[in-house]
Amino acid sequence: MTDLSKYRNIGIFAHVDAGKTTTTERILKLTGKIHKIGEVHEGETTTDFMDQERERGITIQSAATSCYWNDHRLNIIDTPGHVDFTIEVYRSLKVLDGGIGVFCGSGGVEPQSETNWRYANESEVARVIFVNKLDRMGADFYRVVKQVHDVLAAEPLVMTLPIGIEENFKGVVDLLTRKAWVWDNSGDPSAYTVEEPPAEMADQIEEWREKLVETALDEDDELMGKYLEGEQPSIEEIKRCIRKGTIALHFFPTYCGSAFKNKGIQLVLDAVVDYLPNPTEVTPQPEVDLEGKETGLFAIVDAGRPLRALAFKIMDDRFGALTFIRIYSGKLEKGTTVLNTFTGKTERIGRIVEMHADSREELDSAQAGDIVAVIGMKNVQTGHTLCDPKDPATLEPMVFPDPVISIAVAPKDKGAAEKMGIALGKMIKEDPSFRMETDEDSGETILKGMGELHLDIKIDILRRTHGVDVTVGKPQVAYRETITQRIEDAYTHKKQTGGSGQFAKIEYVIEPGEPGSGFVFESAVTGGTVPREFWPAVDKGFTKSKERGVLAGFPCLDFKVTLTDGSYHPVDSSAIAYELAAGAGYRQSMPKAGPQLLEPIMRVDVYTPDDHVGDVIGDLNRRRGMIKSQEPSVTNVHIKAECPLSQMFGYIGDLRTMTSGRGQFSMEFLHYAPCPRNVAEDVIKETKEREAAAK
């Protein structure tokens, strides 16, 4: 049996470019997993193994790897930082017990760090913080600590202080031991000495150490009492309190260094072992029944209990489909059969492998607390639960956001059509935020994603990895429709020509709902004028119809239908008759209810040098953007705005032109808002022309 107290399942997450992948490389070097360090800017890193990742210098897929430190096994997932790939971060956090939040010493708390931090809070993942890139121009450790407190509303527990800054950064002071770790400039992470800290830092060290001890001892009243009476706690007692507070999310141990220059990583690894929870110390996953209701039972991490495992990622590689699985309880053995509670079908476990980025080691079995991959599972998708067929249960499923942007693609020739279908099928299994549908009118294949970069990379993967050459249409915005007025109406569906006919009469009220409320149906029928067994058919008729709005055929949101009255025929009335009546009633009434087009509004974060702020704000205003705030920092100005997605296509090119290549931006979906009339008219006209051309 494996000792689970020696396991740490951790993720590394941060804003794009804060140095997550570089930090992972250094960890793998220090733990002896790799012998030559690869650099992101040279395209040689271990965990960025896709061509697209190496060329663009960003992480797209989360990569899994295992290594050992101080006799503890670390299962590490390096996640992407770019906003279009937050889905990867979200699903990784669902299966992790702890994390390392990496922040850039000069950039500080950036927008994607906020999103990832929010996801980690929702998943209740304990974290340590690593403030990276302290050798960079404009780096300021204390400013980043303040930002973590102010922007993320989190309590950073400072554990190390930097010695020197920017080009003079040479090491860190460990506040617990009051010792300095100083590295030479050879770039060898093991070339350091532990010595007395610089004399001029003495007051600063005592001030921060006192804060550290007081915050930690808040976790233990008895130790706090002794401390107030003048008795100093031992380092072991302080560590015990820090561990307790970290697991309870009361504070986050905060370290500093430079991953690129190999300085400060050892202390972060020690912190992972000392303060982050092992699989048995986190809140167990709740089990739900097949209807999605909580049963009150939990998947407790214990190899002796029935199997409970969550598939959190599907990856297609040269050996076939890989399903990444986190085992919560029980054991997974080669050759056994497991039940997928989502499909209700059983699957046989063929090969189990332990992953190291894109290489692997074969295993005969795995147990509670492990993160492994299984080769050759056929019908398992992200979020599915695998369990013991004799003792079924479902773990809480994952919820993924809807895509906001779409493009039409077509294969260059007939031979590529089938190949494209197979390739897209594999890609959709891998990424739940990537969708595909066929337009009924035009027969076009429509791909939907979270942003321009997301779809851009999918097309790249189609062409290079799967060898399918496609032509790509212009990006389309996922508009929605709603209504603005309340309307009472009635509809009678009648078809009585010999034999059994169809009859259904419904009277109903359609009214606008609160933004974000979706579609609500209720029945206020009394006296049996529409028998209760037909109410679901009326609901189904409206639910199916709302997928196509009356203005331009976009799905309709945020309205309520109340069935008030109607009548039925003892012989001719049926569920299908009421469903047809509801569908026809929808088409009859919606045009009278003040239909309105809604457009997706994005939260946009722009970073620009000081001297270009006016140009950037002027440009955002021209794009119908609303400026929410401007925050100057040492190196640039952070502008927060809300902009319609339709105005943001190609924005990165324009921003680079305006700022001489120094501007950066990220955006994510915020909410839907009414479209201005002139914009709505253009969209409706364009949609109708496109539909006419397709016919």
Domains and CATH numbers, the chain: 4-281 (3.40.50.300), 285-395 (2.40.30.10), 405-473 (3.30.70.870), 485-593 (3.30.230.10), 597-678 (3.30.70.240)
Crossing angle for the helix pair 265-275 and 20-30, to the nearest 10 degrees: 80
Terminal C-alpha separation, the chain: 65
DSSP state of 580: H
Report the distance separating Cα 385 and Cα 355, nearest Å. 20
| C-alpha pair distances (Å), 522 with each of 321, 563, 565, 607, 621 | 44, 6, 12, 48, 42
Backbone region of residue 607 per phi and psi (left: phi > 0; alpha: psi in -120 to 50; beta: other values): beta
Tokens of 603: 């939260």
Tokens of 642: 């809300």
Report the distance separating Cα 371 and Cα 272, nearest Å. 17
pLDDT tens digits, 505-544: 999 999 998 888 889 998 888 887 888 888 999 999 999 9
Helix (H, G, I), strand (E, B) or coil at 582: helix
Report the distance separating Cα 330 and Cα 301, nearest Å. 8
Q: How many CA atoms lie within 13 A of 442 on its CB side?
A: 16
Query: Could you give phi then psi for residue 313, rounded to 5 degrees?
Result: -165, 135
Looking at residue 508, its pLDDT comes to 93
Report the distance separating Cα 234 and Cα 478, nearest Å. 59
Choice among 64-68, 111-115, 656-660 with the minimum mean pLDDT: 111-115
DSSP state of 655: H
Tokens of 449: 């994603």
Report the distance separating Cα 693 and Cα 695, nearest Å. 5
Confidence of residue 298 (pLDDT cuts 50, 70, 90): confident
Helix (H, G, I), strand (E, B) or coil at 587: helix
Give the mean pLDDT of 340-369.
78
The dihedral of CA 196, 197, 200, 203: what is its sign?
negative
Report the distance separating Cα 692 and Cα 441, nearest Å. 9
pLDDT tens digits, 195-247: 898 888 889 999 999 999 999 998 888 888 888 888 888 889 999 999 999 99
Tokens of 57: 């210098």
Give the mean pLDDT of 79-98.
62
Crossing angle for the helix pair 651-658 and 613-622, to the nearest 10 degrees: 150
pTM here is: 0.65
Confidence of residue 35 (pLDDT cuts 50, 70, 90): very low
Residue 42, burial from CB neighbour count under 10 angstroms (0-12, 13-18, 19+) = exposed
Tokens of 37: 């360090």
Q: Classify strands 337-340 and 385-387 as parallel, antiparallel or unpaired.
A: antiparallel
Looking at residue 53, its pLDDT comes to 37
Q: What angle do CA 69, 72, 77 make, to 5 degrees?
A: 75
Report the distance separating Cα 405 and Cα 555, nearest Å. 14
Choice among 5-9, 304-308, 659-663 with the minimum mean pLDDT: 659-663
Report the distance separating Cα 449 and Cα 427, nearest Å. 12
**Chain centroid offset of residue 296 CA:** 27
Burial 360-394 (b: 16+ CB within 10 A, else e): beebeebbbbbbbbbbebeebbbbbbbbbeeebbb
Q: Are 483 and 559 in contact (CB under 8 A)?
A: yes
Report the distance separating Cα 236 and Cα 462, nearest Å. 54
| C-alpha pair distances (Å), 469 with each of 140, 276, 331, 447, 463 | 48, 47, 44, 15, 5
Nearest to residue 201, comparing CAs of 168, 173, 167? 173
Q: Quick check: 44 pLDDT over 60?
A: no
Looking at residue 55, its pLDDT comes to 41
Looking at residue 66, its pLDDT comes to 74
Residue 353, burial from CB neighbour count under 10 angstroms (0-12, 13-18, 19+) = middle
Looking at residue 103, its pLDDT comes to 87
Nearest to residue 258, comparing CAs of 268, 246, 244? 268
More confident residue, 128 or 477: 128
Length of the chain: 695
Report the distance separating Cα 219 and Cα 234, nearest Å. 15
pLDDT tens digits, 415-439: 777 788 888 887 777 777 788 877 6
More confident residue, 253 or 322: 253
| Contacts for 359 with CB less than 8 Å, ≥ 6 apart | none
Q: Quick check: 559 pLDDT over 90?
A: yes
β-sheet bridge partners, residue 604: 641, 667
Looking at residue 537, its pLDDT comes to 92
Looking at residue 347, its pLDDT comes to 85
DSSP string, 80-135: P-SGGGHHHHHHHHHH-SEEEEEEETTTBS-HHHHHHHHHHHHTT-EEEEEEE-TT
Give the mean pLDDT of 435-455.
74
Looking at residue 91, its pLDDT comes to 61
More confident residue, 80 or 158: 158
Q: Are 347 and 379 in contact (CB under 8 A)?
A: yes
Looking at residue 444, its pLDDT comes to 73
Tokens of 238: 């302080």
Averaged pLDDT score across all residues of the chain: 80
Residue 23, burial from CB neighbour count under 10 angstroms (0-12, 13-18, 19+) = buried
| Contacts for 397 with CB less than 8 Å, ≥ 6 apart | 288, 292, 342, 383, 385
